[in-house]
Amino acid sequence: MTTTYDPHHPLYLDEADVRDELTRVYDLCHGCRLCFKFCTSFPTLFDYIDRFDDQDAGRLTPAEQDQVVAECFQCKLCYVNCPYIPELHEWALDFPRLMLRADAMRHANGHQPTKQQAATRVMARTDALGAIGSMAAPLANKAIESREGSLVRKVMAKTTGVSATRLLPPYAKQRFSTWFKQHVAKLGRPRQGAVTVFPTCLVEYQDVQVGKDLVQVYERNGIECETTAAGCCGAPWLHSGDVKQFGKIADKNVQTLADEIRSGGRDVVVPQPTCGYVLKKDYVDYCDPARRDDARLVAEHTFDAAEYLVKVHKADDTELDTDFDGDVPDDITYHVACHLRAQNIGFKSRDLMKLTGAKVKLVQQCSGIDGMWGFRDGNEEIAVPIAKKLADQIDKANAKAEGDVAVTGDCSLANTAIAEQTGNRPAHPISLVARAYGIDTD
């Protein structure tokens, strides 16, 4: 049994070793039960073990071990909540990364269901899908908007593994990078910083307005913006167990971003929590060991979009423009994305939005998406109730608001799940700040 989360370790993909480690961790989690509420993986695990009089986790079958793995959607919340993580305890328990290791082992040994493999081959190619979707936006959006048993979505589910019933984010006609090339930069105050915007696939091809708002809010505050040549962060490959493909993407992006940081003296700003987490946390582990120094450089210079602005505001020699003469709601219900909480940076989007004068209410409930997992055909039975629980908490928070209320969230995919359940799509905090400044949508 080897306790390792290093994908380059010689036993990382060894099935017998992985299963022994699963037994060790499952036994510890069964005895603790602190994370029972975060996802169905833990209740499923506890039920499996509780049926034995001796409560021996070693009696689980490989199929039962794998079912626990399959129900983990990498929200990272158990890692945030766990008192036994490697940095704090000799047990060195990191459940999310063990689940990634188990998925990688299953992928390497051909144990993943054919349907899951097919979905990964399609859904993980986000740049290719995004480019095609943007070029054919009206037709593509018409296809993905049809749901509830439509023939088109049923065919998509059969051929791609994408759920036939989940609401999917539509494609934008104009990509963010295209808009940026045409955009004429104009700083609203003396230069206070310079950043490279890592737009992410979601902002590049779908939630383009978030990228536009980010650039304009930054420029209003004297922060110069450039874009990067780096592509998709690779999270869909990692979360599907294909660590080899993810490693290739990590190596390429690390080299590109490190070069851009060194040559331009710029920090990297990411408007999507999952992608920011990957750049800050995962690249260091999964890239080629020869590029670890570059990966650490990228991690040290990567910031969430609101995190960077709050840093500027709190610095001794810089500050943000707090003249908000646009549309400012009385109350804001803010969904804190799981992968933002996992970055351990605090509630920077809340702090930023509070500068507008609005009251901010936090909702900390997972959306059950994790990109590909929540959109896979067959996962609806678990994923949708989680999204409904989030929607219920948002509705309760909105009901307590005393004035007009806006709903916000940093994660575009989580916002899609909220829109699916409530009928209203939340705004990104950066977009809310842009409207508060009086910056119009394009």
Concatenating the DSSP letter of every residue in 152-165 gives: HHHHHHHHH-B-SS
Tell me the pLDDT band of 214, cut-offs 50, 70 and 90. Answer: very high
pLDDT tens sequence across 223-273: 999 999 999 999 999 999 999 999 999 999 999 999 999 998 899 999 999
pLDDT tens sequence across 352-367: 999 999 999 999 999 9
For the chain, the average pLDDT equals 93
pLDDT tens sequence across 187-203: 999 999 999 999 999 99
Residues 333-358, mean pLDDT to the nearest whole number: 96
Range in 127-131, 337-341, 414-418 the model is least confident about? 127-131
pLDDT tens sequence across 271-325: 999 999 999 999 999 999 999 999 999 999 999 999 999 999 999 999 999 999 9
So what's the pLDDT on residue 364?
94
So what's the pLDDT on residue 158?
84
CA distances from 435 to 100, 105, 172, 347, 413 (A): 39, 47, 20, 20, 21
Residue 44, judged by CB atoms within 10 A of its CB (0-12, 13-18, 19+), counts as middle
CA distances from 384 to 316, 369, 390, 412 (A): 46, 9, 10, 16
Task: Answer yes or no: are the C-beta atoms of 405 and 398 closer than 8 Å.
Answer: yes
Residues 140-165, mean pLDDT to the nearest whole number: 84
- Three-state SS for 109? coil
The answer to pTM > 0.85 is yes
Q: Where are the domains of the chain?
A: 15-109, 331-437
- The first and second tokens of residue 105, run together, are 């082992």
So what's the pLDDT on residue 263?
92
Q: How far apart are CA 230 and CA 278, in angstroms?
A: 13
Q: Which residue has the higher pLDDT, 375 or 218?
A: 218
- Three-state SS for 64? helix
So what's the pLDDT on residue 161?
83
Q: How far apart are CA 202 and CA 45, in angstroms?
A: 33
Tell me the pLDDT band of 423, cut-offs 50, 70 and 90. Answer: very high
- The first and second tokens of residue 143, run together, are 């296809």
So what's the pLDDT on residue 355?
97
So what's the pLDDT on residue 403?
85
pLDDT tens sequence across 51-69: 999 999 999 999 999 999 9
| Exposure string for 84-109, b = 16+ CB within 10 A, e = fewer | bbeeeeebebbbbbbbbbbbbbbbbe
So what's the pLDDT on residue 115?
73
Kindly report each contact of residues 312-319 with a partner whose C-beta sits within 8 Å and lies 24 or more positions away, as own/partner.
312/192, 312/193, 312/221, 312/223, 313/352, 313/355, 318/192, 318/193, 318/222
pLDDT tens sequence across 34-49: 888 888 999 999 999 9
Strand ranges for 276-330 from DSSP E: 302-304
Residues 172-184, mean pLDDT to the nearest whole number: 96
Range in 134-148, 294-308, 374-388 the model is least confident about? 134-148
Q: Which residues contact 205 (CB under 8 A, 6 or more apart)?
A: 126, 129, 130, 131, 133, 134, 171, 172, 175, 176
pLDDT tens sequence across 77-131: 888 889 999 988 999 999 999 999 999 999 999 888 777 777 777 778 888 888 9
